[in-house]
């Protein structure tokens, strides 16, 4: 009497509850449909694929030097470009540094002069003054660079 088919409780329980393995397979089929059934998921085979591209590589021909060494590589002068990059990085660094210095001085005012770090008015005022001085310096340097060009 240990056979499951003869026991009505076990047979009904297995059929009613379903096999957990079958349930997992049904869930997988619901989440991942069969690629052969869906036209959008089919991979083209045979003649539907494009052909192999015809690519040929050729070596570049060396130049013959003209009169007075014109065949050499010419490097354009980089001095003005490097000067502009240096000025731009300097402006960015001074903007960040002026904001940090202003905020730091404001924090020092709050903690040591006012002795009340709960109200950060020194920090706020220092941050705003540092930001203003950074932007004034940014405008001054950019006007100077535009005047040189």
Q: Tokens 């056979």, residue?
A: 3
Residue 136 maps to a domain: yes
Which DSSP category does 44 fall into? P
Q: What is the pLDDT of residues 59-109, one digit of tens each?
A: 888 877 665 555 555 556 677 778 878 888 888 999 999 999 999 999 999
Cα gap 114→108, rounded to integer Å: 9
Task: State both tokens at 131.
Answer: 């930001």
Domain around 95: 85-148
Q: How many domains does the chain have?
A: 2
Helix axis angle, 121-148 to 79-108, nearest 10°: 160
pTM of the model: 0.46
Residue 75 maps to a domain: no
């Amino acid at each position: 009497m240990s056979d499951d088919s003869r026991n009505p409780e076990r047979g009904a329980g297995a059929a009613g509850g379903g096999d957990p393995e079958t349930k997992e397979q049904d869930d997988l089929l619901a989440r991942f449909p069969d690629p052969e059934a869906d036209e959008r998921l089919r991979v083209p085979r045979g003649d539907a694929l494009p052909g192999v591209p015809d690519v040929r590589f050729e070596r570049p021909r060396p130049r013959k030097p003209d009169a007075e060494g014109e065949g050499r590589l010419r490097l354009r002068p980089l001095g003005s470009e490097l000067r502009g990059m240096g000025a731009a990085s300097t402006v960015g660094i001074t903007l960040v540094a002026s904001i940090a210095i202003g905020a730091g001085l404001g924090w020092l005012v709050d903690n040591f002069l006012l002795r009340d770090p709960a109200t950060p008015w020194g920090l706020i005022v220092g941050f705003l003054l540092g930001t203003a001085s950074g932007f004034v310096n940014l405008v001054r340097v950019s006007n100077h660079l535009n005047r040189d060009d």
